[in-house]
Amino acid sequence: MTAELWRIAEITLDDETGRRLKSDLEQERAAAISDLLVENRFAPASGRAGPYHLRIGVEESRLTLDIHSACDGSSERVLLPLLPLRRIVREYLVLCESYNEALRQSSLKGMEAIDFGRRALHNEGSERLMAELAGKVEMDRDTGRRLFTLVSVLQLRG
């Protein structure tokens, strides 16, 4: 199969709360979705062919990935407990807020230190997400990073 088949072609966030995020987080969400749609490597372990429409949500403290194949119309759902990610997400979101506050105050020294920590937590979170999804969904590192951003936003909204 060609690489074109093992990719996300459309993403929907299942946000039943309708709660609006701060503009900084809305921008992060939009950038993650945009970047994902431009380039990603995503393949369910089931072997279901893509490209995929991915619906990401949170139900009863679990991440839900509804994967719909644009190729044959079939679907599957992957569930993942959010507890292993909760601490990382919470700390990551706090550092994002601190970083954005430092940006508003033009505190270059503070921004650099906070950004270093934010990036480290983002890497840790994406690696943990990928490890938790291993055997269910395979993806490259950049796809994992962008999905972690979306999972963080969904948990904040929830």
Q: What number of other Cβ atoms are within 10 A of residue 72's Cβ?
A: 10
What's the pLDDT tens digit per position in 128-144?
999 999 999 999 999 99
2 has a pLDDT exceeding 70 = no
Instruction: Look at 11-15, 48-52, 109-113 and tell me which has the smallest mean pLDDT.
Output: 109-113
pLDDT at 102: 80
Tens digits of residue pLDDT in 77-118:
999 999 999 999 999 888 888 887 887 877 677 778 888 888
Radius of gyration of the chain (CA): 16
**pLDDT range class, residue 3, cuts 50, 70, 90:** low
Neighbours of 77 (CB within 10 A): 12
Which pTM was predicted? Answer: 0.87
> Can you tell me the distance from the alpha carbon of 77 to that of 64, in angstroms, rounded to the nearest whole number?
7
Nearest to 56 by CA among 45, 39, 42: 42
Looking at residue 22, what is its pLDDT?
A: 67
- Count the Cβ atoms, other than its own, within 10 Å of residue 39: 12
